[in-house]
Amino acid sequence: MKVFPFKIPKPANIGLIYQEDIEILFYDKLHQHDEIQISFIERGSGTLFIGDKICNYTQGSVFVIGSNIPHAFKSDKNVAQKSKMLSLFFTKSSFGETFFELDEFAEIDIFFEKSSRGFVLKSNIDAIIFIFLQMKKVSKIKRFMHFLEILQLLAISETTPLSSFVYQKIYSDMEGKRMRTIFEYTLENYHQKITLQEVANKANMTKNAFCKYFKNRTNKTYFNFLNEIRIENASKLIMIKKEISINEIAYITGFNNISNFNRKFKEIKKMTPLNFKKLQII
């Protein structure tokens, strides 16, 4: 997906941008922007590509996406109702170059450190969702006060980092188009056998050049990326299709034998598919 240098629509003299996205499919072009993004998924499910990480999102998920981290939301298709996401956008200098350098904000320094790689919230989720749901109907000054509350909670909450490394680069159009082709081809064909030659051809590169190119831009090999997509889709099927056996799910998501599936699943999810399935029943 092309990495668009996306500009968040911003009225004059507004430091904090509040946005509601209500769509069948969220904006799914791989893009990056200067603003830090805090998002709450009020409705919907799908897959989030962020930096070098792939993860599922569901209703109730809260994400923080750091400045200029490439990301895209891939909504699940064939849903009965529109998805809804509430987001806040801002930069560290939105309220003045030294605003967050004041001693009063020392306790939220850790938020900015963690945001550079992006993270998903693991604790205090209900408290942050409650604040988010107040945002639309309050005055701008009250919204700003709610925003500071959210930052404080995010700073002290348990979180899981997303991207493995900090993104400081804005991608060129040529790089973006090539990555778009690779991502879309992989998403459409992950359940089938994909050879290195096939995907290198899609990128108009030799196999060796492609391997170096992909590793430099994603911090992982192409086949690690492919296996992550397969495992994320497998874990989603385990959660929502409880009548399907793990063996069937392995083959549906592109693994040609169950032992390889089990090994990759445990490597990525840190547990076996069977244990993952048991957790969904609890």
Residue 109 lies in a domain: yes
Residue 8 lies in a domain: yes
CATH number of the domain that residue 75 is part of: 2.60.120.280
Question: Does residue 136 carry a pLDDT above 90?
Answer: no
pLDDT for position 29: 76
Range of the domain at 250: 173-281
Quick one: what percent of the chain has pLDDT higher than 90? 60
Q: Which of 90, 202, 73 has its CA nearest to residue 146? A: 90
Are both 116 and 239 inside the same structural domain?
no
- Banded pLDDT at 206 (limits 50, 70, 90): very high
Cβ atoms 249, 226 nearer than 8 A: no
The domain total for the chain is 2
Mean pLDDT of 188-217: 93
Question: Does residue 1 carry a pLDDT above 50?
Answer: no
pTM: 0.76
Mean pLDDT of 164-174: 62
Are both 29 and 124 inside the same structural domain?
yes
- Banded pLDDT at 130 (limits 50, 70, 90): very high
Question: Does residue 229 carry a pLDDT above 60?
Answer: yes
Cβ atoms 253, 191 nearer than 8 A: yes
Cβ atoms 68, 48 nearer than 8 A: no
Choose one of 161, 181, 198: the last residue of a domain: 161
Q: For residue 274, what are its two tokens?
A: 């069977």
Are both 201 and 231 inside the same structural domain?
yes
Look up tokens 């992909």; give the residue: 214
pLDDT for position 158: 95
